[in-house]
Structure 1
Amino acid sequence: MKLILAIFLCLAITKSFAKDFCYSFKLEKQNNIELKIKNSSKKNFVTVESLKGEEIFFCTNDSGSYKCSGDDDSGKFSFDSKKMTLTIQFITFGNPDNVTLEVTKHPETKGKSCL
Structure 2
Amino acid sequence: MRILTPGEATWLLSREIRHLQNRLERLEHGMEHIYAREDATLGAVAITAFQELDMLAQSTDALAAYVERLARKLDDPTGLDLAEALAAIPLRELALRLSGQDSDQLVANAPELF
The bucket for the TM-score relative to the shorter chain is under 0.3
* Greater share of strand: 1
Q: Which has the higher helix share?
A: 2
Larger Rg: 2
Give the TM-score normalised by the residue count of structure 2. 0.23
Q: TM-score, normalised by structure 1?
A: 0.23
